[in-house]
Amino acid sequence: MAAVPAVKLENGASVPVLGYGTGTAWYKRAGAEDIDRETVDAVATAIRTGYRHLDGAEAYGTEKELGIAIKESGVKREDFFVTAKVNKGIGDIPAAIERTLRNLQLDYVDLYLIHEPFFAKDDEELQSKWAEMEKVQQSGKARSIGVSNFLQPHLEAIMKTASIKPAVNQIEFHPYLQHGDLLAVHRRLGIAVEGYSPLTPLTRAKGGPVDGVVSRLAKKYGVSEGNVLLRWSIDQDVVTLTTSSKEERLKEFLGVVKFRLTADEVDEISRLGREKHYRAFWKSKFDPD
């Protein structure tokens, strides 16, 4: 089984560069009071295949299923990197993290994120919620804390009053959504980027300008087109989150550990990708008509 290498966050925590998401494909199935066994089995398959970085969120309704799969796996707790996110529960973060830990049957999460910044009416509200997140880390219920879907102004707002810096910002990231110089901004601030929806050019936005180069590089390296897109993201130091309902695909994704793109190849995909703009998530918030 190919082990996924890890990178270190600025606070010293190690994160496997490829994570398995329990949102998107899964959230419509779970979320009811009953446990959705299909989702448990899917996470169990991902764990068995070799994934240890598991991305969850209160909003996905899959926390209980994720917790059962972790427990039944027999893998040691400390070998997992488990992320949770607060969204609906943002009004009472101490209660939200307690609920999440109960659902997950865990004593702590490795990473706890504010799922999106759009709840806040002003910078003060973002700052006061960040102060509550810092208390979660200080209590030991989260080893690291961070944010998701934050833009530069949101990051700068919380950095003004933070005593603990966000370890991570989890954003949509693929060739058709490169966010200008946002990666460089993160590097300057010492905040790691996690990217979700890396396969968008193959799935939701097929038929775009990167198709040709992605297919050429897949042939060159003897890998799938999906692997080229995952590698494009990882080769820019982005901790990358994907998912699949298919064991074969989950195994195939792990092939990313066996090759790297050259800097020129990364640049070629980036240059062609900038010819198209596509956002899959949080569209109404980021691109209001």
Residue 21 as a binder of ligand NDP (CB under 6 A): the answer is yes
In the shown chain, the binding pattern of residues 249 to 288 toward ligand NDP, with x for contact by CB under 6 A and - for none, equals: x-------------------------------x-------
Q: Which of 15, 104, 241, 272 binds ligand NDP (CB under 6 A)?
A: 241
Active-site choice (53, 115, 174, 186): 115
How do beta strands 53-55 and 14-16 pair? unpaired
Please state whether 139 falls in left (phi above 0), alpha (psi between -120 and 50) or beta: alpha
Contact between residue 146 and residue 84 where contact means Cβ atoms under 8 Å apart = no
With respect to ligand NDP, which residue has the nearer C-beta, 161 or 224? 224
With respect to ligand NDP, which residue has the nearer C-beta, 124 or 179? 179
Q: Which of 242, 254, 268, 272 binds ligand NDP (CB under 6 A)?
A: 242
In the shown chain, the binding pattern of residues 158 to 197 toward ligand NDP, with x for contact by CB under 6 A and - for none, equals: ------------x-------------------------xx
Contact between residue 282 and residue 179 where contact means Cβ atoms under 8 Å apart = no
Q: Which of 138, 203, 215, 262 binds ligand NDP (CB under 6 A)?
A: 203
With respect to ligand NDP, which residue has the nearer C-beta, 101 or 205? 205
- The separation between CA 234 and the C-alpha centre of its own chain, rounded to angstroms, equals 12
With respect to ligand NDP, which residue has the nearer C-beta, 135 or 251? 251
Residue 232 as a binder of ligand NDP (CB under 6 A): the answer is no
Residue 275 DSSP SS3: coil
Residue 110 as a binder of ligand NDP (CB under 6 A): the answer is no
Q: Is 115 a catalytic residue?
A: yes
Q: What is the smallest separation between the CB atom of 285 and ligand NDP, expressed in angstroms?
A: 10
Choices 4-12, 15-23, 67-75, 155-163; region in contact with ligand NDP by CB under 6 A: 15-23
**85 backbone dihedrals φ, ψ, rounded to 5°:** -135, 145
C-alpha to C-alpha distance for 228 and 209, rounded to whole angstroms: 15
With respect to ligand NDP, which residue has the nearer C-beta, 45 or 137? 45
Within the chain, strands assigned E span 6-8, 14-16, 18-21, 53-55, 81-86, 109-114, 142-148, 168-172, 192-196, 238-242
Q: Is the dihedral of CA 60, 63, 65, 70 positive or negative?
A: positive
Active-site choice (20, 51, 60, 112): 60
C-alpha to C-alpha distance for 243 and 198, rounded to whole angstroms: 10
- Residue 118 CB contacts under 8 Å (≥ 6 apart), including other chains: 149, 282, 285
Q: Is the dihedral of CA 53, 165, 117, 140 positive or negative?
A: positive
Q: What is the smallest separation between the CB atom of 274 and ligand NDP, expressed in angstroms?
A: 19
| Residues labelled as active-site residues | 60, 115
The residues of the shown chain that bind ligand NDP, judged by CB under 6 A, are: 21-25, 55, 148-149, 170, 196-200, 202-203, 226, 241-246, 249, 281
